[in-house]
Structure 1
Amino acid sequence: MEIHQAGPLNFLKTILIILFIYYAFKFLVRLFAPYLMKKMVNKMQQKAEEQFGNQQKENQVNVGETVIDKKPTKANKSNDSVGEYVDFEEID
């Protein structure tokens, strides 16, 4: 049975293996990153086009048709939480 001892040769092998793995990973990322980015951008573009298309379909109006988008808000709405309105006169 052989026991491995920590020595300069084993340390050098470990460093070389780590460097090989690092540069192999770096190479693979450079190789596949453009493909993955292109696929991701196409997917986002497709989702945006679907959302825009859905909005366009909802906004289509026939000629002569009246469309009300939202209910009108009451302009003279009294807000009780603000307080009582007090009229004032300017003193000279």
Structure 2
Amino acid sequence: MTFLKTILIVLLVYFGLKFLIKLGTPYLMRYISKKAGQQFEQFFGNNPDMKSQKQQEGSITIDKNPSSNSRSSKKVGEYVEYEEVD
């Protein structure tokens, strides 16, 4: 009789924990994602480059890229011809 009670208790605990885990998983995932978002914002939110890019509304800036007309005429290597040896 005690053996059956033990098995019943183990099964009830197993299924009870399984049910509670299914019930609590969405809340736990929300909490984890919120914390990860806060850490991401804290890590990337204090970027000094982002602050310098904010300008007043209506201001105009022109950034010129350097011209890339210079082509490299350097030889990278030499051609080696191989022969098959029988």
TM-score (norm 2): 0.55
Moved beyond 6 Å, runs of 4+: none
CA distance in 2, matches of 1:53, 1:13: 57
1:37 counterpart = 2:29? yes
2: distance between equivalents of 1:37 and 1:53?
23
Pick 1 or 2: higher relative contact order, CA cutoff 8 A, min separation 6: 1
Structure 1 residues 43-82: aligned runs within 5 Å = 43-55=35-47, 58-59=48-49, 60-61=51-52
CA shift, 1:61, in A, is 3.5
Structure 2: gaps of 5 or more residues: 56-86
1:28 corresponds to which of 20, 23, 30: 20
Instruction: Look up the SS of the partner of 2:46 in the other structure.
Output: helix
Q: Highest CA radius of gyration, 1 or 2?
A: 1
Unaligned runs of 5+ in 1: 1-8, 64-92
Of residues 6, 22, 46 in structure 2, which corresponds to 1:14? 6
CA deviations on 1:12-61 (whole Å, 9 max, x unpaired) are 11100000001001100110111011111111111101211111xx1144
Structure 1 residue identity aligned to 2:14: Y
TM-score by length of 1: 0.52
Percent of aligned pairs with the same amino acid: 43
